[in-house]
Amino acid sequence: MPRSAEFAAYIIGVLMEIIFVLLDSIAVSGSKALLSWENISIYDHVWFQSISAIQLVLIYLICQFIFPVGFILLVATYVRHKRYNCHLANIYNLIPTKWKYLEASLIIFAGGIIYHCVNCHNFRQNITLTLGRFILSAQLFPVFLKMIVIKLPPREAHGDLK
């Protein structure tokens, strides 16, 4: 990857995070207690109580689509490029398979983020609750695919790699 593209990716990521933090500071207008047990209290933030929410939610979803979804899809495209242009595929014959699993896990992860952002926007659900469902559902399958990638050896006849 060219150095200028890498620098641009970092700058765009930092700008999206700044916008994201500013949106959170505007959108969160307080907190409510979810659970209290003895001296321990668990709080959740209250979204959009004092302001109109539709413009902020749209900006929030656009930021989420650019960063991290856009970056995850960019990485998946780079992995696909490396998979089809592997110079050592004749020696390390399982590397393209490892990259195929990695690409699939990245696409599933990005699709999970998109699905849960749209679900949260359409049904006006609590974003924290939706994020909890997202962590349980959309991240488990990509993690299992990444575990398969880690477990695969770089080539089939790997007796000399032990």
What pLDDT, on a 0 to 100 scale, did the predictor assign at position 89?
A: 66
Q: Which own/partner pairs from 95-104 qualify as long-range (CB within 8 Å, at least 24 positions apart)?
A: 95/154, 95/155, 97/152, 98/149, 98/152, 98/154, 101/145, 101/146, 101/148, 101/149, 101/152, 102/145, 102/146, 102/149, 103/76, 103/79, 104/145
What pLDDT, on a 0 to 100 scale, did the predictor assign at position 122?
A: 64
Count of structural domains within the chain: 1
Q: 28 forms bridges with which residues in the sheet? A: 47
**pTM recorded for the entire structure:** 0.68
What pLDDT, on a 0 to 100 scale, did the predictor assign at position 20?
A: 81
Task: State the Cα–Cα distance between residues 104 and 146, nearest whole angstrom.
Answer: 9
Burial 55-87 (b: 16+ CB within 10 A, else e): ebbebbbebbbbbbbbbbbebbeebbeebeeee
What pLDDT, on a 0 to 100 scale, did the predictor assign at position 58?
A: 76
Q: Which domain holds residue 9?
A: 3-161
Q: What is the pLDDT of residues 17-32, one digit of tens each?
A: 888 888 878 877 777 7
What pLDDT, on a 0 to 100 scale, did the predictor assign at position 137?
A: 67
What pLDDT, on a 0 to 100 scale, did the predictor assign at position 103?
A: 92
Which residues lie below 8 Å from residue 110, measured CB to CB, with a gap of 6+? 68, 69, 72, 73, 76
- Residue 48 gets which letter from DSSP? S
Query: Tens of pLDDT along the chain (162 residues)?
Result: 678 888 888 898 888 888 888 887 887 777 778 788 888 888 777 776 666 667 777 777 787 778 788 888 888 888 898 888 877 766 778 888 888 999 999 998 888 888 777 776 666 556 666 666 666 667 788 888 888 888 888 777 656 555
Which tokens hold the place of 126?
């609590």
User: 102 with 83: CB under 8 angstroms?
Assistant: no
User: SS3 for 4?
Assistant: helix
Q: What is the pLDDT of residues 108-139, one digit of tens each?
A: 888 888 877 777 666 655 666 666 666 666 77
Task: State the Cα–Cα distance between residues 38 and 98, nearest whole angstrom.
Answer: 49
Task: State the Cα–Cα distance between residues 42 and 40, nearest whole angstrom.
Answer: 7
Omega into 154 within 30° of 0, i.e. cis? no
